[in-house]
Structure 1
Amino acid sequence: MLAILSALMSFASISTDLYLPALPAMGESLSADAGSVELTISGYLIGFSIGQLFWGPIGDRYGRRLPITLGLLLFIVGSVGCALSTSVPMMIGWRLVQAVGACANVVLSRAMVRDLYVGHQAARMLSVLMTVMAIAPSIGPSLGGLILHVASWHAIFWLLVGVGLLTLWALTVLPETLPPERRNAQSIMAAFLGYAQLLRQPRLLAYAGVGGSFYGGMFAYVAGTPVAYISHHHVSPQHYGLLFALGIVGIMVASQLNARLVRRFGIDPLIRFGAVLATLAGALAALNAWHDWGRLWGLVVPLFFFASATGFIVANAIVGALESYPERVGTVSALIGALQYGTGILGSACVGYFANGTPFPMGLTIAGFGLGSLLFCPGLGSNRDTKNDGS
């Protein structure tokens, strides 16, 4: 179950990280500039963000396995479409389809963790899962670079088709974690209307705001580093994968630290620590990008610490939000995910829109979203209910 849940949660990252080294080559092949190609990431995030709002209520009403199966089928179809794309608009359209399918896996695998665990145990389990699933994005850019060395960028998306098919087969051994007696009997339309009620909860919005702001910076990092490293600093696609993997190592280490510390300190202090770390690292990255201090490593080092803040923010923010509505875990998980990836759309779009061939638009965007995560911290609720064992 740990392996399958990790695979399901990693669909958000592998769908993008694997083809990051191919962005410059895709631009040449599709006769598009860097800003236009980076919008394929924004298009993916649009589908991923909106799609979660549908899958969450469906998962609460019909269980987790059936929606995940349907999502995997959509992901496979979208990946085939991407592999056959001949223009940037066509690629963006199929990335939307791919994203709507992939988000079912992510939002409902988080819900499955909450079905099985509560309180600090859920935060610890999510941290462990994040550590395991970080293996995929850590090797994704390097694997994408190797594929480019022997084949075209189309082969990357054919590989994603194979990943979707393999995960669909593995799903046959995953048990249903939401039995019929625990399912939400309200209609799907009523569940959609319930989003308005959830959006009026200040504590929920605080957790979503911290995580969402941070995601905006992280997707600016994802969208901007190919240009910053490969185009501006002339790093090879293969070496880019190694630099990108440094950030993944930081996420894995921080996630393990979070899993060990969350029972002792609670989720809120660790979220605040992560927000401070993200703010300081983002500001340093922006300054280095503007003045070109330290050249390549002047960017790599602060971005490493910014990415590491993921381990203290993401899992804890999700659990903090889910704890308030145990009977609507799928719906709340969908709302949190939609808000997080919605800001991811904004972050990656800012990098693409203001692209000027230098790392500065990426650095400034990361700094702004890092500060945003810190500004939401005062609204976090008391951590007393997340320091117990959930009983």
Structure 2
Amino acid sequence: MNFHKQRPWRHSLPVALALLAPFNILASLGMDIYLPVVPAMPVILGTTPQIVQLTLTLYMLTLGVGQIIFGPLSDRFGRRPVVLGGALVFTTASFLLAIAVSPMAFLALRFVQAVGASAALVGVFATVRDVYGDRPESALVYSLMNAMLSFAPALGPIIGAILAEKLGWQSIFIALGVPALIAFIAALPAWQETRPVKTEALRAGSFRRVLGSPVFWAYTMAFGTAMGTFFVFFSTAPRILIERAGFSQLGFSLAFATVAGAMIITTRFAKTCVEHWGIPGSAYRGMALIATGSALIAGGAFVFSPSFTSFIVPMWLIAVGIVFTGSVTANGALAEFSDIAGTAVALHFCVQSLIVGLLGTFFVIGLGSDTIWPLAAYGLCMAALTAAALKGVQRFQLRQKAR
């Protein structure tokens, strides 16, 4: 690739975060705000729990796989049209979900909603990589983005439970559409294009170049382990806590929020920890915490019935591990690809989403969505495999340096 210049990003950090954050948060909120009504949706839509689980899985898979399309598009045509187009699609689908009356229409609109979220998300993170990837404040920006993202699982289920109780389940999707529309209107005049100005067309070998990197695979697998553990948790938590432990929708949402609260608190210290431990050290510690929390959940199942103490408290450890991992995986996976950031970000999120959606759903369906075993098994197995992959990458990098 010939020399290319960076396009300027004239916004201060607070203004930039105000533009970036809504699209980042709404992509996650599309999943989290809906969780309190998941147990009731089979009756509401006249369908099965498996179809309702598919509305979660399809959203997660589409969120990642769609970026295979939107990442290269953002490299070719720019970040701005991808972000704005995705926001408009997300907004439209959210409003239509509020009036969906059949399970197939609901499922199709969840797919469309995820397509919009996918486009916006890849545009946002490609912009972050364009602007901050080579700056000292990159760790701070990623930590702040993760901190904001942590508010979605903290507040989303609580908001969803209150809205469903007071205004009906349809209001949940209106509450997604309205802020998405506001964010779109705000970004329309303010979002500056940041795609590097290249002197030659994007090479067809970009996918092969990214997917051929063992470093990319190891850190993307780490991201998939962290996000997958959380996916399995929120896929199983409603049935475990509401149906088996007797929590109300609001009680479940408050318990769920404590896990997100642990993530928010940890984020305050993530930058310092990453500076001290480095990228590999932070990823290793993240895997160790996820494995430890998963082991405690498994052990508790032999002694206690499902409860806040046996299920939620160990999740606090896992939440800390998720933050340590998420703070470094993007930089670790994308460090070699600043010239094709859109494509690299797309593949990073796509592979992560495939890990989360396919493996996470396999564990949930195979081991039972009303038991702790999907979470315990996923966390232990994936953390062990990821730690081995990270170790292999370290050896690979040492051999490369020795040459």
**TM-score (normalizing by structure 2):** 0.87
Which stretch has the larger CA shift, 257-266 or 298-307? 257-266
Name the residue aligned to 2:71: 56
Query: Are residues 184 and 206 of structure 1, via their aligned partners in 2, closer, same or farther at CA, if it must alter by over 3 Å?
Result: farther
1:240 aligned to 252, 265, 269, which one?
252
CA distance in 1: counterparts of 2:18 and 2:394, whole angstroms: 32
1:358 — aligned with what?
371
Which of 123, 128, 132 aligns to 1:117? It is 132
Distance 2:373 2:216 in 1: 33
* Gap change, CA 1:40 and 1:345, over 3 Å in 2: same
**2:172 aligned with 1:159, yes or no?**
no
C-alpha spacing 1:157/1:362, structure 2 compared with 1 (3 Å)? same
| Whole-angstrom distance in 2 between the partners of 1:159 and 1:249 | 22
Q: Say if 2:50 is the partner of 1:35.
A: yes
Identify which of 23, 27, 34 aligns with 1:12. 27
Matches within 5 A, 1:124-143: 124-143=140-159
**Residue pair 1:286, 1:363 contacting (<8 A) in 2 also:** yes
Q: Deviations over 1:160-209 (max 9, x none)?
A: 1112211111213533242562587327xx2xx53233212111111111
Which residue matches 1:72?
Answer: 87
> Residues 245 and 209 of structure 1: is their aligned pair in 2 closer, same or farther, counting only changes over 3 Å?
same
In structure 2, how many angstroms separate the alpha carbons of the residues matched to 1:334 and 1:361? 27
2:96 is the counterpart of 1:81: yes
| Range 65-74 or range 211-220, more displaced | 211-220
1:274 lines up with 2:286 in the alignment = yes
Match of 2:36 in 1: 21
Write the letter of the residue equivalent to 1:100: V
CA contact (8 A) 1:61 1:186 kept: yes
Q: Shift of residue 33 of structure 1?
A: 3.6
After superposition, give the CA deviation of every residue in 1:273-325 in whole Å (9 maximum; x if it has no partner).
Answer: 11111111112223323543673311111112112212111130111111111
- Alignment partner of 1:297 out of 306, 309, 326: 309
Structure 2 counterpart SS, 1:134: helix
More off after superposition, 27-36 vs 268-277? 27-36
1:144 aligns with 2:160: yes
Q: CA offset at residue 224 of structure 1?
A: 1.0
Report the Cα distance in structure 1 between the residues aligned to 2:379 and 2:190, rounded to whole angstroms.
Answer: 38
Q: What value does the CA root-mean-square deviation take over the aligned residues?
A: 2.3
Distance 1:210 1:136, change over 3 A: closer
When structure 1 is superposed on structure 2, of 262-271 and 238-247 the one drifting more is 262-271
1:353 deviates by 4.9
Cα distance in 2 for partners of 1:363, 1:149 equals 32
Change (3 A) 1:184 1:77: farther
For residue 169 of structure 1, the aligned residue among 185, 195, 203 is 185
Between the aligned partners of 1:184 and 1:297, the Cα distance in structure 2 is 58
Alpha carbons 2:34, 2:160 under 8 Å: kept: yes
CA distance in 2, matches of 1:102, 1:96: 10
Mapped to 2, the partners of 1:288 and 1:183 lie a distance apart of: 59
The one-letter amino acid of 2:361's match is S
Contact 1:221 1:366 in 2 (8 A): no
Matches within 5 A, 1:196-345: 196-292=208-304, 295-345=307-357
Aligned-pair distance for 1:53?
0.8
1:210, CA displacement in angstroms? 1.2
Alignment CA distance shift 1:356-1:103 (3 Å): closer
In structure 2, the CA distance between the partners of 1:78 and 1:26, relative to structure 1 (3 Å rule), is: same
Aligned counterpart for 1:369 among listed residues 356, 365, 382: 382
Aligned identity (percent) is: 27
In the superposition, the TM-score normalised over structure 1's length comes to: 0.90
TM-superposed deviation, 1:356: 5.7
Q: 1:227 to 1:207 in 2, by over 3 A?
A: same
Counterpart-to-counterpart distance in 2, 1:238 and 1:113: 35
